[in-house]
Amino acid sequence: MIKIIAILFILLVFIIGGACTSENGQQTKLAKQENSQIITQVATDPWGFMLMSQEEVVENINSQGTTLILDVRSTAEFTQGHIPGAVNIPITEINQRLSELNSYKDKEIAVVCYSGGRTVASLRLLKEAGYSNLKHIAGDMQAWYAARLPLE
């Protein structure tokens, strides 16, 4: 008799617990899944590289962070204005100058060009060369200029 009462009590707890959370719990789970998918979509570019927001770049500059900002535009474009502290290695020279990036093999490298095409090509080259912590600066220099963010 005690076993039957214990089993009924356990069943009652499950029924009451399930009734209190089933609809709201499902909605909460769905909302969390949707938010997670949105965050993932926003945090990566169409080619699957992680994005670094302009705010994160500015924070890295202000805190003297360890992220290397790699500008892959031509030298002429770079001298017209670039993100403070950025290193310029034009995309046409990346393969020949990879040794300059050896100390960043396991560190974060955020790549930027004017509108994104050279950035993606550079990120692919770096990934093939074994670099793993790569990011694409969201909006590239086109957005940086539009937002009137700091330049050197």
Say which residue the tokens 């899944």 belong to: 33
Cα–Cα dist 80/62, whole Å = 22
* Active-site entry in 94, 112, 113, 123: 113
Cα–Cα dist 13/7, whole Å = 10
Cα–Cα dist 52/70, whole Å = 13
Phi, psi of 78 (to 5 degrees): -60, -45
The yes-or-no answer on residue 113 being catalytic is yes
Say which residue the tokens 């009734």 belong to: 19
List residues with catalytic annotation: 113
